[in-house]
Amino acid sequence: MKRENQFQSELIKELKDEFPGSIILKNDGSNVPQGFPDLLILFGKKWAALECKRSSTAHKQPNQEYYVHRLNKMSFARFISPENKEEVLDDLRKTFRHRRTTRISGSEQVELDKLLRGQIEAGISEQPCSPAWYRVA
């Protein structure tokens, strides 16, 4: 079985080939909320988030389910592993090729920089637990 970082590296190469001109951000820095998906793919006017797992049964960290669910409501987000890779990539191809740019109304959209800083506006019923580095003044 491949290690998660090996699977992720191979997946990034495949995504770059599949979606030329895309920007793929690897979210592994200290400025990313705990549990935020590993990869953010920007392609044209669309985006997707992928949480890489070495297997479909691999342990999920706190908040990962929350962020994948929330980001999927906004655009596209999935857990991806070797077992479901082709299915997820097929769904991603369909999403990126589809003419519609979002699945939520403009009033519900969240600016990407706010999302990455964990500053999702009030009105969200589900809230993740706060990472240690995030403090509200």
The pLDDT value recorded for residue 109 is: 57
Classify residue 125: in a domain, yes or no. Answer: no
For residue 64, count other CB atoms closer than 10 A to its CB: 19
- Whether 58 maps to a domain, the answer reads yes
**Which DSSP symbol is given to 106?**
G
The answer as to whether 121 is a domain residue is no
11 domain residue, yes or no? yes
- When mean pLDDT is compared across 36-45, 67-76, 123-132, the lowest value belongs to 123-132
Whether residue 48 lies inside any domain: the answer is yes
CA 33 to chain CA centroid, Å, is 12
| N residues, the chain | 137
| Residue with token string 């908040």 | 63
74 CB neighbour count, 10 Å cutoff: 18
Q: Looking at the domain assignment, is residue 130 inside a domain?
A: no
Report the domain count for the chain.
1
* CA separation, residue 81 to residues 54, 70, 121 (Å): 6, 19, 31
Task: Residue 39: give the domain boundaries.
Answer: 4-116
Averaged pLDDT for residues 116-131: 50
Whether residue 133 lies inside any domain: the answer is no
> What CATH number is attached to the domain comprising 85?
3.40.1350.10
Task: Name the pTM for this structure.
Answer: 0.70
